[in-house]
Structure 1
Amino acid sequence: MTTDQGLDAIVVGSGPNGLAAAVTLARAGLRVRVYERNPQIGGGAATAELTLPGFRHDVGSAVHPLALASEFFQKFGLKDRIELRVPEISFGHPLPGGRAGVAWQDIERTAAGLGRDGLAWLRLLGPLVQNINAIAELTGDALLRVPRHPLMLARFGLRTLEQGSPAWNWRFSGVTAPALLTGTFAHSIGRLPSPSTAGAGLTLAAHAHAGGWPIPIGGSGAIVQALADDLLAHGGEIVTDADITSLKELPPARIVLLDVTPRALVDLADGALPARYAASLRSFRYGNAVAKVDFALSEPVPFTATALRRAPTLHVGGTRADQALAENAVARGRHAEFPYVLAAQPSILDATRAPAGKHTLWAYTHVPAGSTHDQTEQITRQIERFAPGFRDTILASYSQTAAQMQNHNPNHVGGDIAAGAISMTQLVRRPVLSGDPWRTPLAGVYLCSSSTSPGPGVHGMCGYRAALSALAHEYNVVDPPDLTPHKGN
């Protein structure tokens, strides 16, 4: 690449974290350039026609529980830049016999539908919902520092330990409530029960009853486009089809932020990293994977439980025991016979996703890392169990194995969309044990991917924190730049 003396900062990777970092630096007055290996920006938050013309599918994430809760997106004013539609039903969960659990945004309404377990639901989640800002702060900054809300941390920790242990059923007497809750735990690719999956799931469930689980109108790509528009409006550049294989290929810049995994950072550094730090990065563990299928449908999914036809997000996995059986099979390196399926039907809220009268369905299931198994039939069969006739609505489908997920986005090592195993250890050591895990030993080089704190999700916080660290260390700028929308962007 040619030398460019006009740059202050370079960002490699245009996922939500890379763009959040770039926006933050550009708003601080720096001249920023983003390099993206693919023709399309966005990484795991892009939207594209994958099946048939007119059917727009989210390439990666589809539903965004953290879009309203993220400190970065709040400061960026995301809800004022794009339409985030919050449904009445945050998520639904079909059960055998035509039954279903429904998590309404209204927690009281949810509890009323859970019968004898309604009070248990309120006692478990109510305090978290009432203190959602403290929960967001706790889970959005998983570093070694004195917590500002120690009482809330204790409450959250006790609930996490309970639901992450064999005692997870003690407060429930029925089937629906524990199944409904476990659907959120299984978002994390891990053993059930375990503290890491329980902590992540309780956080998601609390957000479901607080701000809700919004759907971006126009797809996840709308979030990415809002970030890109702001970057360009403040003098930034984006270069696509630029596969950076070494830091030596980059033009001179005072700051380099890398939206890549620890393994990729070692490769990019070409031996320049100190041996101990490089060894620590190599020891960073990646988790199991997802296999994804997108469907173009002639009509909405015909769930037997009709309330689920109004739910944009669905956890299709049966009872709590069924979901644990499936997830634990994957944890042992096997493909589940009846897998847990996370599904989204955004077209019931967003008419831009499909031609008139038609619909899209986004679905993935968990598989062992690096799997080359096409899961189309397994996902179809599992949904058909709770929506007889679903198979007949399919006009076309597009499948990606775990191995193919990595081909599209190298950050998804082996198909691990979390860019690193979710464990209690790796929520603190992400990717190294440090109060500033984004800063590397190389002068001016920072890591800003989901492999850093606070971890996975479309929230931009990894990129935002990395950019603030870079501004403080390289420019002695300690006050965060203003990110609020200006007229025209």
Structure 2
Amino acid sequence: MPAPDAVVVGSGPNGLAAAVVLARAGLQVELREAAAEVGGGLRSAHLFDSEVLHDICAAVHPMAAASAFFREFDLRARGVELIQPEIAYAHPLDDGRAGLAYADLERTCDRLGPDGARWRRLMAPLVRRSQGLVDLLLSDLRRPPVDPLAAAMLPPRVLAQGTPLARHLFRGPEAPALLAGVAAHAVGRLPSLPSAATTLLLGHLAHGTGWPLPRGGSRRIAAAMVDDFVAHGGVVHTGCPLTALRELSGVPAVLLDLGPRGLLDVAGPQLPPGYRRRLEAYRYGPGVVKADFLVSEPVPWKNPALGLAGTVHLGGDQRAVFAGENAMVRGSRTDDPLVLLVDPMAQDDSRGRPGKRPVWAYCHMPPGDGADAGELITAQIERFAPGFTDTVLACRSVTAPGMAAYNPNYVGGDIGAGAVTVRQLFARPVPRWNPYRTPLGGVYLCSAATPPGPGVHGMNGYFAACSALRHEFGIRTPPSLAPA
């Protein structure tokens, strides 16, 4: 076999996106994955029962339905059904009420009563210019926005949602709780400017392209990408870890779906001292503790409307969510964590069988905390779904160090591959005009530690691959990603 033109190391969604772009450009590309199967955060598995499928990391994919990479790649045309829940996300309160973000914006506003008009003023303009907004927030952040009007909407909304003003924008508790739950996806201090950008991006998508679940599990997205890569001549090697970058000497382009710690591990001595010091200074965020449940029946929510939601945020009102997440950022555990929960079979009956179904949940932990929060997650679910414990047939919890062992990019259990701060939004992983291109000739980073940051959207891999095509092969026009 001839030597490859390019090697992609790591097969998470960004590694797969990079591999697809390079192979479609006509290069001979090899993909190396240390684990026994590809997918990274897109893996699914039968954890307890051969008839029940659990998503190991990502389960719900708002950005896979919206990003420029996946819009052109067109998952639906490749047989991947993205199921849109009637309620994209929900947030219950202790008195039995709940904030419900319906796919239908007007229905959401109607349910929010006196806060409906405020919700409409916040979300409707964003929904109308959604593609421009998504393409701006999921860009490499180095070129002017394609839609200036979408960009102009952001500053006042980011300031409102990312400052103490966020505590005073609504009258009732439901709307603030809804937004607080979405903001917590940024995994950091609340409120903050990065969490506000997350809120606006994910929040408005609920009323647009949605927060879908792929029928048959997240692995279906990875499988579609691998199929396209192989169809264009790509070669996949699993169980093939990279221990030193020198193993790939002579390969014209090497794209690493690795974080700064991973790059230091495989190439530390080869890196210029200044670049190496900046990588060593890169900040990682809080960790995640995940719990997978095998249950006998749907989650017995106190508020039955929650059974229609794709994602449920559990943690009380806005004040409680802010307090819990901020304590976690300061390094203190809380007895009242925000828990993110998905009951996949509420949308996708292929995930299990009557009497056996999966439930997916996680919460955030302070940086470096290796505690097992499985019981804490269970108690938080029980708080809003009395009787849940009685439905549990089996449970597996994974600590933050366990998440890091599963995927070395999750340093300390940080599934975002780096703290989402203002500095690290624009200088990710280091201050550099082309953040994908390292000082080592032909070596590129394509992980979530590059712009635009974490999420299953493929844009980090896409931008890194386009940079490699331009600088290493003189190919300035990206290849089409559309299905044949």
4+ residue runs over 4 A deviation: none
Structure 2 residue 219 is matched with structure 1 residue 233: no
| Structure 1 counterpart of 2:183 | 185
| Structure 2 counterpart of 1:249 | 247
Structure 2 residue 22 is matched with structure 1 residue 22: no
Partner of 2:225: helix, strand, or coil? helix
TM-fit CA distance, 1:395: 0.7
| Structure 2 counterpart of 1:124 | 122
2:5 to 1, 4, 8: 8
| Structure 2 counterpart of 1:382 | 380
Q: Distance in 1 between matches of 2:199 and 2:47?
A: 29
TM-fit CA distance, 1:161: 1.1
Question: 5 Å matches for 1:56-71?
Answer: 56-71=53-68
Question: 5 Å matches for 1:117-266?
Answer: 117-250=115-248, 252-266=250-264
Structure 2 residue 70 is matched with structure 1 residue 54: no
Alignment-mate amino acid for residue 7 of structure 2? I
| Structure 2 counterpart of 1:303 | 301
Partner of 1:187: helix, strand, or coil? helix
Task: Give CA-to-partner distance per residue, 1:328-361, whole Å, 9 cap, x none.
Answer: 1101101111110011111111122112343211
| Larger mean Cα displacement after TM superposition, 432-441 or 398-407 | 432-441
TM-fit CA distance, 1:407: 0.1
Q: Distance in 2 between matches of 1:352 and 1:8?
A: 40
Alignment RMSD: 1.2
TM-fit CA distance, 1:98: 1.3
1:446 to 444, 447, 456: 444
TM-fit CA distance, 1:93: 1.0
Structure 2 residue 412 is matched with structure 1 residue 414: yes
Task: Give CA-to-partner distance per residue, 1:7-65, whole Å, 9 cap, x none.
Answer: 11101001010011001101011111111111111111100112333221111110000
| Structure 2 counterpart of 1:286 | 284
TM-fit CA distance, 1:242: 1.1
Alignment-mate amino acid for residue 66 of structure 2? A
Task: Give CA-to-partner distance per residue, 1:223-257, whole Å, 9 cap, x none.
Answer: 00001111111111111111111111236321100
Query: Which runs of 5 or more residues in structure 1 are unaligned?
Result: none
Alignment-mate amino acid for residue 193 of structure 1? P
| Structure 2 counterpart of 1:102 | 100
Alignment-mate amino acid for residue 6 of structure 2? A
| Structure 1 counterpart of 2:366 | 368
Q: For the Cα contact (< 8 Å) 1:5–1:253, is it kept in 2?
A: no
CA spacing shift, 1:5–1:443, aligned 2, 3 Å: farther
| Larger mean Cα displacement after TM superposition, 398-407 or 272-281 | 272-281
| Larger mean Cα displacement after TM superposition, 139-148 or 119-128 | 139-148
Alignment-mate amino acid for residue 338 of structure 2? Y
Q: Distance in 2 between matches of 1:158 and 1:110?
A: 23
Q: For the Cα contact (< 8 Å) 2:14–2:461, is it kept in 1?
A: yes
Q: For the Cα contact (< 8 Å) 1:15–1:41, is it kept in 2?
A: yes
Q: Distance in 2 between matches of 1:315 and 1:51?
A: 25
TM-fit CA distance, 1:371: 2.1
| Structure 2 counterpart of 1:473 | 471
| Structure 1 counterpart of 2:91 | 93
Q: Distance in 2 between matches of 1:283 and 1:142?
A: 21
Partner of 1:466: helix, strand, or coil? helix
Alignment-mate amino acid for residue 364 of structure 1? Y
Q: Distance in 2 between matches of 1:51 and 1:335?
A: 29
Q: For the Cα contact (< 8 Å) 1:191–1:327, is it kept in 2?
A: yes
TM-fit CA distance, 1:313: 0.7
TM-fit CA distance, 1:180: 1.0
Identity value in percent: 50
Partner of 1:119: helix, strand, or coil? helix
| Larger mean Cα displacement after TM superposition, 257-266 or 426-435 | 426-435
Q: Distance in 2 between matches of 1:180 and 1:254?
A: 48
Q: Distance in 2 between matches of 1:345 and 1:235?
A: 38
Task: Give CA-to-partner distance per residue, 1:432-487, whole Å, 9 cap, x none.
Answer: 2233211111111100000001110001110011000000001110111111112x
Question: 5 Å matches for 1:335-374?
Answer: 335-374=333-372
Q: Distance in 2 between matches of 1:310 and 1:236?
A: 40
Partner of 1:39: helix, strand, or coil? coil
Alignment-mate amino acid for residue 255 of structure 1? A
Q: Distance in 1 between matches of 2:107 and 2:15?
A: 39
Q: For the Cα contact (< 8 Å) 1:68–1:79, is it kept in 2?
A: no
Task: Give CA-to-partner distance per residue, 1:368-409, whole Å, 9 cap, x none.
Answer: 123221111101101111110000011111110000000000
| Structure 1 counterpart of 2:34 | 37
How many residue pairs get matched? 483
When normalised by structure 2's length, the TM-score is 0.98
Alignment-mate amino acid for residue 102 of structure 1? L
Q: Distance in 2 between matches of 1:389 and 1:218?
A: 28
Q: Distance in 1 between matches of 2:476 and 2:240?
A: 32
Partner of 2:326: helix, strand, or coil? helix
Q: For the Cα contact (< 8 Å) 1:348–1:359, is it kept in 2?
A: no
Q: For the Cα contact (< 8 Å) 1:257–1:447, is it kept in 2?
A: yes
| Larger mean Cα displacement after TM superposition, 469-478 or 122-131 | 122-131
Question: 5 Å matches for 1:386-401?
Answer: 386-401=384-399
Q: For the Cα contact (< 8 Å) 2:211–2:310, is it kept in 1?
A: no
Q: For the Cα contact (< 8 Å) 1:187–1:342, is it kept in 2?
A: no
TM-fit CA distance, 1:154: 2.9
Structure 2 residue 110 is matched with structure 1 residue 112: yes
TM-fit CA distance, 1:293: 0.4
TM-fit CA distance, 1:426: 0.7
Alignment-mate amino acid for residue 57 of structure 1? H
Q: For the Cα contact (< 8 Å) 1:7–1:252, is it kept in 2?
A: no
Q: Distance in 2 between matches of 1:285 and 1:450?
A: 13
| Structure 1 counterpart of 2:401 | 403
Q: For the Cα contact (< 8 Å) 1:91–1:102, is it kept in 2?
A: yes
Task: Give CA-to-partner distance per residue, 1:108-166, whole Å, 9 cap, x none.
Answer: 10010001111111111111111101110110115233333334323212111111111
Partner of 1:126: helix, strand, or coil? helix
Q: Distance in 2 between matches of 1:142 and 1:231?
A: 23
